[in-house]
Copies of this chain bind each other. A is one copy, B any other.
Amino acid sequence: MQRRGKQTWHFDQPVYIQGTGTAVGPEELKGPLGSYFDVTYNNLYADQDNWELAERKLMQDAVETALKNAEKKSEEMDYFFAGDLLNQIVTSNYYARELDVPYFGLFSACATVMEGLALSSLFVDSGVANYTLTAVSSHNATAERQFRYPTEFAGQRPDSSTFTVTGAGAVVVGKKQSSIKVTDATIGKVKDYGIKQPFDMGSAMAPAAADTIVTHLRETGRDQSYYDVIVTGDLSRVGSGILRKLVQDRGITLERYEDCGIMIYHQEQPVFSGGSGAACPAVVTFGHLFKEMKRGNINRMLVVATGALLSPLMIQQKESIPSIAHAVAFEREE
């Protein structure tokens, strides 16, 4: 691994994707990517007794599928990196109890998947691990009642709102050659432009995304044209527009740019400005974008997972919402 600048790691000995798994709920199943996910449920309970257990089941489904696709057993995983949106990251902690694998609990909200995948790739690259497992989850009903209002309250939401993705994504990485490799990771810094509105997380996250994208391009010495696509995690329609402006202010007009939160739902679905949640960048990257890479439609892509570090208590205390974005670059193996 070579460090490039302060924030970027370049894996000159490639780290390969060994297998991925995705599991989603009903609204994601109805969306344009519905047929690409591995495990799907037509209700928010995922055959469990409550929503928290449903979220845990989604993580289990994603992990089991990723292990199966990697042709590995859980005991072959050297380390497990996981996080989710629930207080005390309980989905991850309680699922980790089922795995007999040394565990690192992570939290960077919806940026967690790339925080975990960056650490996982570094572990494999440096020989600390042969294989690692990374997983994240989010659930619309568990997140809404924790961060805003219980859905039964039927509160009105502005159009800038995002809709938390119900799902989980998991990925196994290792040295064994495969069709997709992890080539770079850029670790983000916490940014805060003073947004205080929990119904407008896209705007809160755009500065962190802009900083990480500009830093990545500068530190790698790459032009954006190096990538077939630059993808953000869950800025949604409102945040994506702000990101374009912020990056433009630094002299870059984003050309081939997409957002997972926009891709995952049809515009006519009742999802306001688009999808969000820790699962959003995970299921779209692993379920859809990796398939596009395998098909040869994408050769190189940069995925920038964006985390709004939203806390209901801090909102009550009139604080603004800090954010962070971690980026990982993927290339198709020729």
Contacts and interface: CB of A to CB of B under 8 A. Distances in A.
Interface in A115-139: 115, 119, 122, 126-128
Interface stretch (A2-10, A28-36, A227-235): A2-10
A245 B1 CA distance: 45
A97 B128 contact: no
A6 B78 contact: yes
A63 B296 CA distance: 48
Interface string A1-23: 10100110100000000000000
A6 B131 CA distance: 12
Nearest to A187: B102
A319 B104 CA distance: 21
Interface residues of A, number: 52
B128 A6 contact: no
A50 interface: yes
A185 to B, nearest CB: 10
A88 interface: yes
Interface stretch (A105-113, A148-156, A163-171, A286-294): A105-113
Given A9-B128, A103-B189, A309 B88 contact: yes
A284 B94 CA distance: 29
A263 interface: no
A322 interface: yes
B52 A103 contact: no
Given A115-B105, A126-B126, A87 B311 contact: yes
Contacts of A96: 189-190, 322, 324
Contacts of A105: 106-108, 115, 309, 324
Interface in A304-330: 309-314, 317, 319, 322, 324
A100 interface: yes
Contact of A192 (B97, B322, B324): B97
B310 A88 contact: yes
A190 B101 CA distance: 8
A187 B312 CA distance: 32
Interface of A: 1, 3, 6-7, 9, 50, 52, 78-79, 83, 86-90, 93-94, 96-97, 99-109, 115, 119, 122, 126-128, 187-192, 309-314, 317, 319, 322, 324
Closest 4 A/B residue pairs (Cβ): A102-B187, A93-B309, A96-B190, A87-B87
